[in-house]
Chain A
Amino acid sequence: MKKFALTAVALSLLAGLAQAETVTVYSSRNEQLIKPLFDAYTKETGVEVKVLTDKEGPLMARLQAEGGNTPADMLITVDAGNLWQASNMGLLKTVKSKTLETNIPAHLRDAKNQWFGLSVRARTMIYNPSLIKADQLSTYEDLADPKFKGKLCLRTSKKVYNQSLVAMMIAQQGEAKTEQIVKGWVANLATDVFPDDTKLIEAVAAGQCAVGVVNTYYLGRVLDKLPADKREAYGAKLFWANQKTNGTHVNISGAGVTRYAKNEAGAVKLMEWLSSEKAQNLYADKDMEFPANPKVKADVLVSSWGPFKQNLINMSKAGELQGAAVKLMDRAGYK
Chain B
Amino acid sequence: MRFSSLRGVLYAMPIALLTLIPLLVVLGSFLHPQPEVWTHLSEYVLPDVIKNTLILLLGVGVGVLLLGVPLAWFTSVCDFPGRKFFSWALMLPLAMPAYVLAFVQVGLLDFTGPVQTLIRDLTGDSSWFPRIRSTGGVVLVLTLAFYPYVYLLARNAFLTQGKRALEAAQMLGLSRQQGFWQVALPMARPWLIGGLTLALMETLADFGTVAIFNFDTFTTAIYKSWFALFNLPAASQLASLLVLFVLVLVLLEHWARGARQYHGRIVAAERIVLRGWHRYTAVVLCSSVLLIAFIIPMIQLLFWASTIWQEDLDGRYFGFTLRSMMISLLAALIVATLALLLVFIQRRFQGRGTRWLVRIATLGYAVPGSVLAVGVFLPIAWLDNLLIPIAQSMGFATYQILKGSVAVMLLALAARFMAVAFQPIESAMQRISRNQEDAARSLGLNQRQLLWRLHLPLLRGGVLTAVLMCFVDVMKEMPITLMTRPFGWDTLAVRVFEMTSEGMWANAALPSLMIVLTGLIPVILLVLKSEK
Contact = CB atoms under 8 A, between A and B. Distances in A.
Nearest to B506: A225
B212 A66 contact: no
B214 interface: yes
B399 A262 contact: yes
Contacts, number: 149
Given A30-B498, A206-B117, A330 B397 contact: no
A89 B212 CA distance: 30
Interface in A30-47: 30-33
Contact of B378 (A11, A65, A330): A65
Contacts of B232: 57, 61
Interface stretch (B62-70, B146-154, B219-227): B219-227
Interface stretch (B298-306, B413-421, B482-490): B482-490
Contacts of A9: 395
B480 to A, nearest CB: 10
A284 B44 CA distance: 39
Nearest to B387: A69
Contacts of A11: 395
B505 interface: yes
A202 B112 contact: yes
Nearest to A31: B498
B57 to A, nearest CB: 20
Contact of A335 (B40, B131, B216, B370): B216
B228 interface: yes
B228 A5 contact: no
A208 B377 contact: no
Interface string B386-424: 001000001111011001100000000000000000000
Given A57-B370, A62-B483, A327-B40, A195 B212 contact: yes
Q: Interface extent on B, as a size class?
A: 35 or more
B228 A163 contact: yes
A326 B374 contact: no
B30 interface: no
B503 A58 contact: no
A139 interface: no
A203 B505 CA distance: 16
B330 to A, nearest CB: 21
Nearest to A65: B381
A231 interface: no
Contact of A50 (B44, B111, B487): B487
A199 interface: yes
B373 interface: yes
A196 interface: yes
Contact of A192 (B214, B394, B497, B501): B214
A191 interface: yes
A193 B214 contact: yes
Contact of B374 (A58, A198, A218, A335): A58
Given A32-B507, A158-B224, A199-B106, 9 more contacts: A8-B395, A9-B395, A12-B396, A24-B487, A53-B498, A57-B230, A89-B230, A203-B111, A218-B503
Interface of B: 40, 44-45, 106, 110-112, 117, 131, 133, 211-214, 216, 220, 223-224, 226-230, 232, 370, 373-374, 377-378, 381-382, 384-385, 388, 394-397, 399-400, 403-404, 479, 482-483, 485, 487-488, 490, 494, 497-499, 501-505, 507
18 contacts: A5-B395, A8-B394, A12-B395, A30-B502, A32-B499, A33-B502, A52-B487, A53-B494, A53-B497, A57-B227, A66-B400, A158-B214, A192-B214, A208-B111, A326-B229, A331-B44, A335-B214, A335-B216
Which 10 residue pairs are nearest across A and B when measured between Cβ atoms?
Answer: A196-B503, A8-B395, A65-B381, A9-B395, A202-B112, A330-B44, A71-B399, A57-B227, A54-B482, A326-B228
